[in-house]
């Protein structure tokens, strides 16, 4: 944790105390549970008897908190023996604190290690014998607490109470339900405002909401949770993205392969995934044979079987396979939500088998493809180079690790990629590069990944013949550029807020008929045919609504281009295209011949130009 993060956490935790003090002022009989700092803010678990806190109470609590901050009360640290502390809790009628202290006393005679440190976050201890505990006091409010805290309440930053929810004492359903009151807190008003705006924007951009509005994907109770079905519109999105990923791979000399979605579990016993993936594997039962099958949770062992099916020479290397294919992982149902976490995960996966001397060129090529992909998608990239540390949990030759890590760094530098290094973050089977993309509202998402693998070639006995006729092991390089297409779509829909660039938009062009006369409809039909021949996704709104209503409908549908078709257009064969507001289009003139206009859009789509300002 950086010093900066640590400072802000101290501030957030101090605000939890300030909030508790404010609550005690308003409801003097309040009993307190625990109140830690969390991401972006803090909470406190409170028992107010019959009183239920609602959002209407937030204002008065915030006002009281501001008064405490204005008073600039110092945070004072006190120490007591456990028995004194228990007496204090009894006297103050704080049964939850008393329970924590009693637990601590019992454990303290042996060790506190077995107690949940989160719950006891307020206790000072050297990890073996507990004799004294610490308290922090500001104004008239004293709380059992490990600290540290701000020097005084006046140092607190900008905050806002955000929500209240039920929370069982110590997370146990058989315990009493308390109220958990949440706040967010930042260094200053500007940061807070930015965060709140981002939150609001994130709600507007929620891919589940947009997915429904634009009819991109659906879930069915009969099919099951975490198993999205993609409508024609959503399928265009998926395919546009994976076609692009595949085109980049193909241009880099990768060859497409095709594998089944199931396998005998033997394959994973050899690969080692059987132990590793365990519970996440979907087991498949044949009713005809005694074979034990599994749904594949990854593709590499299957691809290895293709590599291993014929003898390979050094001249054949690098062998490069790619495939867009769905893997299945039995994610816990509670973790499933929209497309962010699904059980049917489509990967734009690839595997390279190369000589050690080829690692540099392969990595360099892959980095370039990833950069091209994300530049086109309008997302900034940052890479984490994950290396091994000095522990012995890593498999494979140490020298090979050293060379590879140096190569990875060199290629990252050569490509002028924004990156940082992380020791100890490598997989046990090899170093890797993880790519984070920043979306339009500033959130970072882990996306592409490139992983070296020194272990699978060994486990599967993969080989190639060297110049001297001797056999050697290739190195394996895994890479997914979009990662999980479903998860990436959740990110990308929120990144664009559904305002897709032309090359991805499910509907690229909409014709709006001014009237529904035969001539107008025929003319629209002619344009539609011409557009389809150019490969465009076009729709004609020839409903009986007014042109104004049709325009509004096209705006809601976020169609990039809209064209009104009436007598004038029929006479001149020229149109005045309406362009979706976010698109900084400069090269479509105000009035343009219809055929020329269609060709312009088709070219825009073909060259994957992204004219949107997100």
Contact residues: a copy of itself, CB under 8 A: 215, 218, 220-224, 227-232, 234-236, 238-239, 255-264, 266-267, 270, 278-289, 291, 293, 295, 301-302, 305-306, 309-310, 321, 326, 328, 330-333, 343-344
**Dist CA 304 CA 371 (whole Å):** 27
Least distance from a copy of itself to the Cβ atom of residue 268, Å? 9
Q: How far is the CB of 312 from a copy of itself (least distance, A)?
A: 12
Quickly count: other Cβ atoms within 10 Å of residue 413's Cβ. 10
Smallest distance from the beta carbon of 329 to a copy of itself, in angstroms?
A: 10
The encoded tokens of residue 437 equal 């993309």
Identify the helix (H) or strand (E) that includes residue 121.
Answer: none
Q: Which is nearer to a copy of itself, 134 or 263 (CB)?
A: 263
Q: How far is the CB of 293 from a copy of itself (least distance, A)?
A: 7
Nearer to a copy of itself, 384 or 459 (CB): 459
Phi and psi for 180 in degrees, rounded to 5? -105, 115
> Please, what sign has the CA dihedral across residues 591, 593, 596, 598?
positive
* Closer CB to a copy of itself, 1 or 310, in the complex: 310
Q: Are 351 and 256 in contact (CB under 8 A)?
A: no
Task: Find the distance separating the first CA and the last CA of the chain, reported in whole Å.
Answer: 32
Q: Which of residues 308 and 436 has its CB atom nearest to a copy of itself in the complex?
A: 308
Q: CB of residue 113 vs a copy of itself: minimum separation in angstroms?
A: 30
Q: Is 385 exposed, middle or buried (0-12, 13-18, 19+ CB in 10 A)?
A: buried
Least distance to a copy of itself, CB of residue 365, Å: 15
Q: What is the CA radius of gyration of the chain?
A: 30
Nearer to a copy of itself, 507 or 569 (CB): 507
**Of the two residues 306 and 547, which places its CB atom closer to a copy of itself in the complex?**
306
What token pair was written down for 163? 């929500």
According to the 3-state scheme, what is the secondary structure of 359-401? HHHHHHHHHHHHHHHHHHCCCEEEEEEEECCCCCCCCCCHHHH
In whole angstroms, how far apart are CA 490 and each of 69, 104, 246, 445?
A: 41, 45, 20, 11
Smallest distance from the beta carbon of 265 to a copy of itself, in angstroms?
9
β-sheet with 76-81: strand ranges across: 76-81, 132-138, 141-144
Of 71 and 283, CB closest to a copy of itself: 283
Buried b (16+ CB within 10 A) or exposed e, 563-579: bbbbeebbeeeebebbe
Q: Which is nearer to a copy of itself, 16 or 342 (CB)?
A: 342
The count of other CB atoms within 10 Å of the CB of residue 82 is: 17
Closest distance of CB 540 from a copy of itself, Å: 12
Q: Smallest distance from the beta carbon of 304 to a copy of itself, in angstroms? A: 9
In the complex with a copy of itself, the residue whose CB is nearer, 211 or 396, is 211
């Amino acid at each position: 944790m950086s010093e900066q993060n640590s400072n802000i956490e101290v501030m957030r935790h101090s605000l939890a105390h300030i909030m508790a003090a404010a609550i005690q002022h308003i409801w003097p009989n309040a009993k307190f549970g625990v109140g830690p700092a969390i991401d972006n803010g803090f909470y406190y678990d409170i028992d107010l008897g019959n009183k239920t806190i609602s959002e209407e109470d937030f204002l008065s609590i915030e006002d009281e908190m501001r008064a405490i901050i204005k008073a600039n009360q110092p945070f004072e640290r006190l120490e007591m023996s456990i028995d004194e502390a228990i007496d204090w809790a009894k006297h103050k009628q704080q049964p939850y604190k008393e329970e924590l202290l009693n637990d601590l006393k019992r454990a303290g005679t042996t060790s506190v290690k077995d107690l949940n440190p989160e719950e006891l976050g307020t206790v000072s201890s050297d990890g073996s014998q507990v004799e004294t505990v610490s308290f922090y006091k500001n104004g008239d409010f004293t709380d059992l607490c490990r600290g540290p805290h701000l020097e005084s309440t006046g140092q607190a930053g900008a905050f806002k109470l955000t929500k209240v929810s039920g929370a069982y004492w110590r997370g146990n359903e058989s315990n009493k339900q308390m109220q958990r009151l949440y706040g967010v807190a930042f260094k200053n008003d500007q940061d807070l405002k930015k965060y709140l705006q981002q939150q609001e924007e994130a709600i507007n951009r929620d891919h589940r909401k947009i997915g429904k509005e634009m009819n991109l994907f659906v879930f069915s109770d009969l099919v099951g949770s975490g198993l999205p079905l993609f409508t024609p519109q959503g399928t265009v999105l998926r395919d546009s993205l994976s076609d692009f990923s595949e085109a980049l791979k193909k241009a880099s000399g990768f060859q497409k392969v095709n594998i089944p979605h199931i396998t005998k579990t033997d394959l994973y016993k050899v690969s080692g995934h059987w132990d590793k993936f365990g519970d996440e594997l979907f087991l498949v039962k044949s009713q005809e044979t005694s074979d034990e099958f599994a749904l594949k949770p990854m593709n590499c062992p299957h691809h290895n079987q293709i590599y291993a099916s014929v003898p390979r020479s050094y001249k054949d290397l690098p062998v490069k396979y790619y495939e867009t294919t769905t893997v299945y992982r039995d994610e816990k149902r509670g973790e499933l939500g929209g497309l962010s976490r699904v059980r049917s995960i489509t990967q734009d996966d690839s595997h390279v088998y190369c000589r050690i001397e080829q690692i540099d060129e392969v990595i360099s090529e892959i980095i370039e493809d990833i950069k091209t992909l994300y530049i086109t998608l309008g997302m900034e990239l940052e890479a984490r180079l994950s290396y091994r540390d000095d522990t012995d949990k890593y498999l494979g030759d140490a020298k090979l690790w050293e060379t590879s890590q140096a190569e990875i760094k060199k290629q990252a530098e050569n490509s002028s990629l924004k990156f940082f290094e992380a020791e100890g973050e490598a997989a046990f089977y090899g170093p890797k590069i993880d790519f984070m993309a920043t979306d339009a509202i500033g959130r970072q998402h882990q996306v592409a990944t490139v992983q070296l693998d020194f272990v699978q070639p060994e486990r599967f006995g993969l080989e190639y013949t060297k110049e001297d006729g001797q056999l050697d092991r290739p190195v394996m390089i895994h890479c997914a550029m979009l990662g999980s297409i479903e998860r990436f779509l959740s990110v990308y829909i929120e990144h664009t807020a559904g305002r897709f660039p032309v090359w991805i938009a499910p509907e690229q062009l909409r014709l709006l008929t001014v009237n529904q006369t035969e001539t107008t409809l025929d003319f629209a039909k002619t344009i539609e045919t011409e557009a389809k021949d150019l490969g465009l996704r076009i729709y004609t709104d020839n409903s009986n609504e007014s042109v104004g209503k049709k325009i509004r409908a096209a705006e809601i549908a976020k169609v990039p281009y809209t064209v009104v078709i009436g007598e004038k257009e029929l006479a001149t064969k020229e149109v005045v295209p309406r362009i979706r507001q976010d698109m900084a289009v400069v090269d479509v003139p105000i009035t343009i011949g219809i055929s020329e206009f269609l060709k312009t859009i088709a070219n825009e789509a073909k060259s994957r130009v992204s004219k949107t300002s997100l």
